[in-house]
């Protein structure tokens, strides 16, 4: 009788457990459908929130894999990688999880690891054209990197800057665009003619582009890693965030806020290129204004001013399509000299990404960074370019897979140590174009509205005056642009899979 009672009790417990599990699975499936719809609507943050809710209800490989691709679309590559690995823990044979993990590895520049995953997919699906294409494209990247490393040995590397003779290039009689002056210099007249010329989708002559890039290189070489900016009393100063190749929105900034001049100075805080289809027009414009107003127009390096990002997200393809492979190599060399940080009136610290994994970093430490190189995966330079703020105190692993996430207490200690008022950074889409984080001490500004023609966000810029550094924000919507889809020059076959 006792045995029978225990047996019945065990069966009831198992039955209730199965019933509960079945109910949770059904609930999670309903939430997943809502999340899938949010993803299709390009509302990736809502999709992530719903996938997370479903995972908490009843986790499985599909939910982690789906959240992984949503993280990929938000460019949170670190979280995407974690979720892809988690999906494979639940189901080691779930093929989509290998796609997700490979995409995350690709986005993080870990091409050998990505190749291993694509190789597995191709082995499981030997006749799948998509699997074959992704494997072959990734293999090309790995082969190219190995070749470039083999020929770039120490000081024996041949820099493109030493091979370009722009002055010997001829201007064809049929060229009808703007001209540099007789000494090959940028003038106000040149810039006033350049903007409307580029706006009509015409290309500046390659001789002039080469001359502009070479002159910019000379200026950038003379600058420190951290540039000090002085804004006099009553004078306005404007800070812009990412523009990401959205040339027509860049022109709109100048329409709203006035063209750059000695009386109207600007700082553009990195990520000038990639994503948008008009990165060449953006960088030529920004370089032109830097040459025209070298002491009143400032440029900082972003994480997308690097060869790996440019090869994946479109700038390399665009430069090669509009000009030459050598010009892209020259841009890569020039980007290495962009300053990493600016300090305005010794009170506002401006960097592209964020703060550091250590507490004792001073402005002197930042000045001492050897910036003339491609960014590594760790260290002060990587953290300046890649880190993001978080709402909770302390530090944690980056959602992007590079840099860190840092809390309000980290910001407060850095500001106090360096006698600063607040930080301005970019690097991160915000729906209004800006965000006042960490008790208004860590401000994000993002200047690419309707990012990639899909996100529906506004862009923004910040203005201050020398005697009033309280930030003032101007938000604006995207403006129409010619038919040219974002990422059209990117290495699409190596990027993200769909749902």
Catalytic residues, by residue number, are: 304
Buried b (16+ CB within 10 A) or exposed e, 129-152: eebeebbebbbebeeebeeeeeee
- For 128, the 3-state DSSP assignment is coil
Q: Is the dihedral of CA 201, 339, 260, 236 positive or negative?
A: positive
155 vs 313: CA distance, rounded Å: 29
**Terminus-to-terminus CA distance in the chain, angstroms?**
55
491 vs 66: CA distance, rounded Å: 22
The set of residues, in sequence order, having a beta carbon less than 8 Å from that of 66 and lying 6+ positions away, is: 32, 35, 36, 39, 47, 51, 499
259 vs 253: CA distance, rounded Å: 8
Q: Report helix angle 95-107 to 129-151, nearest 10.
A: 30
Q: Closest Cα partner for 463 from 257, 244, 299, 233?
A: 257
On whether the CB atoms of residues 304 and 271 are closer than 8 A, the answer is yes
304 vs 318: CA distance, rounded Å: 14
Two tokens, residue 414: 């850095």
């Amino acid at each position: 009788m006792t045995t029978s009672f225990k047996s019945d009790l065990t069966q009831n417990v198992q039955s209730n457990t199965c019933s509960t599990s079945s109910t949770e699975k059904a609930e999670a499936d309903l939430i997943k459908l809502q999340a899938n719809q949010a993803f299709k609507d390009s509302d990736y943050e809502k999709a992530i929130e719903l996938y997370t809710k479903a995972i908490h209800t009843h986790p499985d490989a599909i939910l982690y894999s789906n959240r992984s691709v949503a993280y990929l679309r938000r460019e949170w590559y670190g979280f995407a990688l974690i979720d892809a690995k988690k999906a494979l823990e639940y189901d080691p044979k779930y093929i989509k999880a290998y796609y997700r993990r490979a995409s995350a590895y690709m986005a993080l520049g870990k091409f050998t690891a990505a190749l291993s995953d694509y190789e597995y997919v191709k082995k499981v699906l030997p006749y799948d054209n998509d699997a074959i294409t992704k494997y072959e494209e990734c293999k090309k990247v790995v082969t190219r990197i190995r070749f470039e490393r083999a020929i770039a040995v120490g000081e024996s590397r041949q820099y493109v800057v030493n091979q370009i003779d722009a002055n010997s290039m001829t201007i064809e009689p049929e060229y009808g665009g703007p001209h540099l002056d007789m000494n090959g210099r940028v003038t106000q007249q040149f810039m006033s003619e350049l903007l409307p010329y580029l706006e009509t989708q015409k290309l500046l002559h390659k001789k002039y582009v080469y001359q502009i890039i070479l002159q910019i290189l000379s200026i950038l070489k003379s600058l420190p890693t951290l540039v000090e900016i002085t804004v006099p009393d009553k004078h306005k100063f404007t800070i812009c965030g990412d523009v990401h190749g959205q040339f027509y929105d860049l022109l709109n900034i100048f329409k709203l806020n006035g063209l750059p001049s000695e009386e109207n100075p600007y700082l553009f805080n990195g990520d000038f290129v990639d994503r948008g289809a008009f990165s060449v027009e953006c960088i030529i414009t920004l370089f032109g204004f830097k040459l025209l107003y070298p002491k009143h127009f400032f440029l900082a390096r972003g994480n997308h001013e690097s060869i790996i990002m440019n090869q994946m997200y479109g700038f390399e393809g665009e430069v090669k399509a509009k000009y030459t492979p050598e010009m892209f190599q020259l841009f890569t060399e020039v980007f290495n000299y962009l300053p990493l940080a600016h300090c305005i009136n010794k009170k506002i610290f401006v960097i592209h990404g964020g703060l550091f994994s250590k507490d004792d970093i001073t402005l002197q430490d930042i000045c001492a960074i050897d910036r003339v190189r491609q960014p590594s995966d760790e260290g002060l330079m990587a953290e300046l370019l890649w880190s993001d703020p978080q709402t909770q105190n302390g530090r944690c692993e980056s959602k992007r897979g590079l840099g860190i996430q840092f809390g309000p207490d980290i910001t407060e200690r850095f500001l106090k140590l360096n006698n600063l008022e607040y930080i301005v950074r970019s690097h991160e889409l915000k729906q209004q174009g800006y965000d006042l984080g960490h008790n208004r001490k860590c401000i994000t500004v993002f200047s690419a509205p309707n990012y990639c023609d899909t996100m529906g966000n506004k862009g923004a810029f910040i203005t201050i005056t020398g005697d009033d550094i309280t930030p003032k924000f101007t938000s604006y919507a995207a403006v129409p642009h010619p038919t040219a889809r974002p990422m059209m020059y990117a290495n699409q076959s190596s990027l993200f899979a769909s749902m």
